[in-house]
Amino acid sequence: METGELLRALRQIVREEVTTQTARMDARFDHVYTLFDGVFLRLDRLETESHAIKAGLRRVEEGLQMVEGRLTLVESELELVKSGLARLEARVSALETRVSSLETRFDNLEKKIATEAEIVELKQQVETMNERIAALETRHYETALPQPEPGRSFQNADAVSSRDRVARHGAPDRQPDKAH
On whether residue 49 sits in a domain, the answer given is yes
User: What are residue 150's phi and psi, to 5 degrees?
Assistant: -60, 130
pLDDT at residue 151, rounded to an integer: 62
Q: Which range marks the domain in which residue 117 is found?
A: 3-146+159-169
> Higher model confidence: residue 72 or residue 153?
72
Q: Please report whether residue 10 resides in a domain.
A: yes
Residues 6+ apart with CB under 8 A from 140: 172
CA 98 – CA 92 distance, rounded (Å): 10
What total of structural domains would you count in the chain?
A: 1
In a domain, 174, yes or no: no
Distance, CA of 170 to CA of 10 (rounded, Å): 183
Contact 174, 141 (CB under 8 A): no
Looking at residue 14, what DSSP letter applies?
H
Query: CB under 8 Å to 159, separation ≥6 — which residues?
Result: 153
Query: Higher pLDDT residue, 143 or 152?
Result: 143
Residue 124 lies in a domain: yes
pLDDT band at 109 (very low <50, low <70, confident <90, very high): confident
Residue 154 lies in a domain: no
User: At residue 88, does pLDDT exceed 90?
Assistant: yes
Residue 65 located in a structural domain: yes
With respect to residue 152, please indicate whether it lies within any of the assigned structural domains. Answer: no
Contact 111, 142 (CB under 8 A): no
Note whether residue 179 is domain-resident: no
